[in-house]
Every structure is written in structure tokens, then in C-alpha cells.
Chains A and B, each alone.
Chain A
Amino acid sequence: MKVIPIYAEAGISGFESPAAEYKELGLSLDQLLIKHPNATFIGQASGHSMKGVGIFDGDILIVDRSLTAKNGDVIVANYNGCFVCKLIDKKKARLLSASSEFAPVSITPEDEFSLEGVVTRSIRLHHKSSELTACML
């Protein structure tokens, strides 16, 4: 994800804007949301089990692989060949949902399991985004 600043320049020379000297790069969402760009990936939540921590169906998740998950963190894991977003219960080796409708899942030695990263941000799109609509269906 790169934000490219483009300056509009018309070919008409009038008076120079008194604010020209104060022009800076705009705010960058990357700067705010992504601490470790080389270890971060972006995914999209699908399902309703994480409502309790404010992650809803269709939300954008920013996942940082460089962080070590602490007990109770919102994480992304590879659970039997599928990316899942859950709360990690390290003591009992369980994946917890943030919704009373979903029971905890115990991780057994037969399961394929690896931690993929810690969810550091989630983004709610209150208006539909045309770039993403293809996958919202």
C-alpha cells in the first residue's frame, strides 16, 4: 500500500498561494496503522464470532506477524488449513470467540495449528467500498 501525493498544477500562473510554504505530505493511514510494514498483512473478517471485541463481518484486519501473542490477544492462526481470527487462551491451549453463541475450541495435537500474527487494528467500513464489494458478496 503506497500513498502517492500528487500536486495539482494548473498551467496558469496567478498569485502564489500564501500557504505554499507550509505544504507538507498529507496524513498517511499507513503511518498510523502499520508499525512493521514488512511483517504486516491485510485480511478481511468473515463471520460473527468476534462481535464482542468489535470485529464484524466484512471488517478489514491488520495483522502483525512480528509481535509475539500474549494471553488474551486477538490473533490470526492457521487452524487446520484455514485462517481464523480468535482470542488466544495460551494456558489451556484454546481458541476463544468473543460471542456467547460460539463455544471455545481446544487445540489438540492432531490439529494443524500455527500462530500467524496479532491483530493490531480492525477497520469498519461504514459505507461500502467499491474496491472491496467484489469480496463482500
Chain B
Amino acid sequence: MYALVDAVSFYASAEKVFDPSIRNKPVVVLTNNDGCICAVCPIARRLGIPKFKPYFQIKSLLEKHGVVVRSSNYELYADLSDQMMNVMSRFCDNQYIYSIDESFLYFENYESCIEDWHEYGHQIRKAIWKETRLPVGVGFGKTATLSKAANHAAKKLSGFNGVAVIDSKISREEILNRMDVEEVWGVGRKIAGRLKLEGINNAAQLSKQNPKNIRKQFSVVTERTVNELNGISCLSWDEVQSPKQEIFSTRSFGQRIITKNELRAALVTHAAIVGKKVRKQSSLIKKLMVFASNSPHDPLYYKQAVVYSFIMPTDNSCEMAQAINRIIDSIYCEGVHFYRCGVGAIELNSRAFVQPDLFMPDHTNGDLMRCLDNVNHRYGDSTLKIATEGHHEKWQMRREFLSPQYTSQWRDIPKIQC
């Protein structure tokens, strides 16, 4: 049995943990630089506050309803995420942390000890609520895709109180019938659009398609999804945990960037972030995409992207910095006020299956990178960095509505009235 456990609008819920004065109020959280709304708590959702809308566009709507607005407090979320994941891990022998607020659980060895999955799901919910004050939804299913569907039902469909179990034909049909095909794990908006043209609107309809036909029309991935929806496990536990195929680091600047050196510093910083993530999942970068642009709202939109191919795949941040140095001239343009830039590893190889080149020495310098990562892990990010990264003042995130760092700074620990 698989389970998917995830927090109900995690960022907004996390804001409520140490601020009891907003527990019963509508709360929204803004993205980097306070641009868009990225989390809406259930109370705000009931007021009809939409997600992913630019903040400035719905500012008056928020004010009208007295909605509490917060900037993203990543320091707090990371800490609360750790606590939540640790509490969850008590309940299962296999846990895969899929993102900051969701985990797959795979019950392998003592599945038979659990008699009532509904009851077990509520135990997980209660424990996480009691110990961390975060609300979660729990979905169980015979496959990873079904557990994801059950989780959707647990949180979004009426009649489920935070827990849903797909363990029979009846429970499967009931949930899949009420689920838009776009909500199915692995079906994106694009594929959903094509499916809907053919009259396949909900998940149940998709599950009744002939997998072979789906493969012809779409891809092997969608074929798998169809099988998974029918309870046939196609993604093994190892595949669920498979490393990411692309890693990006991108951000808009708090203040515009004008000079070439500033842009180079920003790009190298993104490269360092990507490098760290790539090393963490033991991959090597074959192709690196580097891009920069001004704002689409500017009178003359400028965007430039370059793909750099490494001769030998690498995870060395210094080599990535050198690559950026080589292509900066084709990205930078004088007079452009840059608003956004980023770096993405778009073709990754596994370190385990690397084919060394007889005539090319290994440039990855693993010892140096390990040292860099260990030092930064111990003493905090950017303790050691590539000199080109420079200082980050100008593109520090704008976080006007930031809550205190309740769990990571002594000066911010919550006050308790006596």
C-alpha cells in the first residue's frame, strides 16, 4: 500500500503555527519578491481568494476581507517541514520526501498489521496536528498514482475528512469519477487539454481507456498512468524516488540589474545553487541553460537564453562558473534593465554510470566540492562561495510582510504571556 501525506496549504498553515492571533483569520502567502499569491489558507479560499494572481491586482480584494498577507518565510517553512516529515516517518518503514510539504509512504513489511487504513490515516493526521500544529491530508492507494488521487479526495472532495482510501473497485470509481483528469498525477495541463477534446474529462474515464492506444497517442508515461489508475503498479518504489531530470534556479531581482558584472554574479550564484542540488542527487550536468530577461511589462521585452554543453559532464561549481563566463557576452545587452535571470541543468547524467574519457582527465574535483558543501552545511549557505558570486544586496528578495524566524533566531522566539 502507498500513502501520500501532504500539508493543507503548507505555507499559509505554517504562518499560523507560532502566531495564534491569525489562526482563525484568512491568510495568504506571497512568492519571492512579494509578486504572486502562492498559498491560500482554507478560510481565505472560502472567501474566494484566488491562487497565483499577482498581488497588486487583488490587493483591494484582500483588504476588503481583512486578509492577513505574509511574505515567504523559508527559514520557518524548512524547519517546520523537517518536524512534520520526522513525525510522519514514525508511521511507515519507507518514506520518500517528495517536496517541502509532501511525502510518499510505502508500506512494505508490515502492511498486514494495519487493519483499518482509515483509522491509521487519522492517527497520522492527529499526531502531526498535535505535535506540529500543521493540518495534513492522507491518501492511501494500491499504486503511487492512486495514493495521490486519494490524497486529492481527502483534501478537496466533500465527504472526506482529511483521509481517503482507495482499496476497492467501489472506492476507486467513486473518487476517480469526481476527479478532473487534469488533477491526475502525471497528466499536465497540455495532455489534459487533448484528452478533454476526446471527451475524456475525469480520471475514471481515463482509467477505462485502452493503455496501448493511449501509448500511441501520447506516450509511455501516460500509458503508465492509465495502468496505475487501475491499480497496476508501474512505478516501483525506486522509480517514485528517481532523481529529478532537470534542476533550475531562477529568481527575479528586488532591484533591476544593469551592469555585466552584476548579471554575471547573479548567474554564478544560481549556478552554485544548481551545482549543490546536482551533487546532492549524485548527477552530472551535460547541458546547462543560462537565461536573463527584463520584465514582460517593460516597453521593449528582452530575453536571451543560451545552452552550454560540457564536453565532459560535471558537477563542479567552478566549471559551471567558467561556462557562464564564456557565454555572458551573448546574454548581456547594454541598456537592458534586467529583472530576472536563472540557470538550469537541462540534461543530467547519473554519476554512477559515467563513462570516463581516456584522454580527458576528471575535472569534477570531488574533494573540493565535498569540502565546499560540508562547510556550507555546517556554517550556513554562502559561507564559502565562488568569488564571482560577489555580494547579493541588490537582488535580495523583497519580503515586506515577513513573519519572525520563530524557530531559527533566538531574538524571534515566540513570546508567552504569564
Residues of A within 8 A of B (CB): 4, 36-39, 41-50, 55, 57, 60-61, 63, 65-66, 76, 78, 81-86, 97, 112, 116, 129, 131-132, 134-135
The docked-state distance in angstroms from the alpha carbon of A50 to that of B418 is 6
> Given A65-B130, A65-B131, are A81 and B23 neighbors across the interface (CB < 8 Å)?
yes
Neighbour of A49 across the interface among B20, B24, B378, B418, CB < 8 A = B418
Neighbour of A39 across the interface among B20, B132, B407, CB < 8 A = B132
Q: Does B21 contact A (CB under 8 A)?
A: yes
- B409: nearest chain-A partner, CB-CB: A131
The residues of B that contact A97 with a CB separation of less than 8 Å are 418
Q: Is the CB of B378 within 8 A of A4?
A: yes
Q: Is the CB of B418 within 8 A of A38?
A: no
Q: Does B416 contact A (CB under 8 A)?
A: yes
The docked-state distance in angstroms from the alpha carbon of A47 to that of B378 is 36
Q: Does B417 contact A (CB under 8 A)?
A: yes
- B88: nearest chain-A partner, CB-CB: A38
Q: Is the CB of A43 within 8 A of B413?
A: yes
> Number of residues in B with C-beta < 8 Å to the partner?
26
Tell me the minimal C-beta distance from A39 to chain B in angstroms.
Answer: 4
Question: Chain A interface mostly helix, strand, loop or mixed?
Answer: mixed
Q: Is the CB of A66 within 8 A of B413?
A: no
Tell me the minimal C-beta distance from B402 to chain A in angstroms.
Answer: 16
Tell me the minimal C-beta distance from B43 to chain A in angstroms.
Answer: 14
Q: Is the CB of B411 within 8 A of A83?
A: no
The docked-state distance in angstroms from the alpha carbon of A44 to that of B410 is 10
Q: Between A and B, how many residue pairs show CB distances below 8 Å? A: 89
* Residue in B20, B406, B412, B416 with the greatest tally of chain A CB atoms within 10 Å: B416
The docked-state distance in angstroms from the alpha carbon of A46 to that of B417 is 5
Q: B127-166 toward A: CB 8 Å interface, digit per residue (1/0)?
A: 0001111000000000000000000000000000000000
10 A-B pairs in the complex with CB atoms less than 8 angstroms apart:
A39-B87, A43-B413, A43-B415, A44-B415, A46-B415, A46-B418, A76-B416, A82-B417, A131-B410, A135-B413
> Given A82-B21, A82-B417, are A134 and B132 neighbors across the interface (CB < 8 Å)?
no
Q: Give 19 new A-B contacts, CB below 8 A, not counting A38-B82, A43-B415, A131-B411.
A: A4-B378, A39-B87, A39-B131, A39-B132, A42-B407, A42-B413, A45-B418, A46-B418, A47-B418, A48-B418, A50-B418, A63-B416, A65-B131, A83-B415, A83-B416, A84-B416, A97-B418, A134-B411, A135-B412
Q: Is the CB of A83 within 8 A of B132?
A: no
The residues of A that contact B413 with a CB separation of less than 8 Å are 42-44, 60, 135
The residues of A that contact B406 with a CB separation of less than 8 Å are 41
The residues of B that contact A48 with a CB separation of less than 8 Å are 418
